Amino acid sequence: MTQKSIIFFDIDGTLLNHDKKLPTSTKEAIFKLKESGHTVAIATGRAPFMFEDLREELGIHTYVSYNGQYVVLDGEVLDTNPLNIPALEKLTEVALQNNHPVVFMDHEDMKANVPEHSFIKESIDSLKISHFPAHDPHYYKGRDLYQSLLFCTEGEERQYEQVFNEFDIIRWHPVAVDILPKGGSKAKGIEKIVQKLGILEDNLYAFGDGLNDIEMLSTVKNSVAMGNAEEPVKAVAKYVTKSVEDDGIVDGLKLVGLL
């Protein structure tokens, strides 16, 4: 293949396995792509500070984080899409009444509006990251936020969806949902990078497994769903590879002809 491509990888369940470990085969494949002159990028729902170690380990400097709300190209911020703060403040007031904690997130840190709560611990611990939100109920004031976390059980988020049209609410854990700017997505973040680099659609690839990957995989021409992906995700992808636990990245790169 002479034409160089850009390949976007989701993190959890795609690059990292269910133990949040990077398979050796995946790491070797990433470096082979880079040696061939391709650009390797990340497209994740995580905050930038939640995957610094992974970026360093893989030498990746281009990424779409917060599901498209904070986009970085070659180490420089390319595009941001912050939350509507007045609407977030109102949502937080309702959440407090319902005993639903909220975590506020910018590009550097995250803070919780309550001192502690079992739902926060359970969901954040599942990410196996070193960061844990300290208590600062006013962290949303005077800064851009790109995502918030609302902690509630499945189905309870509907009351917020019905009232707060400024946001997209996406569940990522049995007791936690993402609060994102309406219409923001990994696909739109990727589009910003592709336009800046002038990449042709034939040379654009994306790998993912989660519900927040559906728009990305249905938009990118060469899309690959992991074998461990949920069925709605597999349904929109052009290819389905093996599970992340079964060298799925290597298999998927072979499927699309990059390895």
Whether 67 has a pLDDT exceeding 70, the answer reads: yes
pLDDT in tens, 88-100: 999 999 999 999 9
Q: Is the domain covering 6-80+184-255 a CATH 3.40.50.1000 domain?
A: yes
Statement: residue 1 has pLDDT above 70: no
Residues of the chain with CATH 3.40.50.1000: 6-80+184-255
State the pLDDT confidence band at 128, using cuts at 50, 70 and 90. Answer: confident
Catalytic residues: 10
Tell whether the model's pLDDT for residue 3 goes beyond 90: no
CATH 3.30.1240.10 segments of the chain: 85-181
E-strand stretches of 107-158: 110-112, 134-135, 147-150
Q: Is 64 helix (H, G, I), strand (E, B) or coil?
A: strand
The 10s digit of each residue's pLDDT in 15-48 is 999 999 999 999 999 999 999 999 999 999 999 9
Percent of the chain beyond pLDDT 70?
Answer: 99
CATH number of 85-181: 3.30.1240.10
pLDDT surpassing 70 at residue 141: yes
- Per-residue pLDDT, averaged over 67-78, amounts to 97
What is the per-residue pLDDT for 2? Answer: 45
Which of the pair, 1 or 105, is modelled with greater confidence?
Answer: 105
pLDDT at 130: 85
Per-residue pLDDT band for 204 (boundaries 50, 70, 90) equals: very high
Write the pLDDT tens digit of every residue in 114-125: 999 999 999 999
Read off the pTM: 0.91
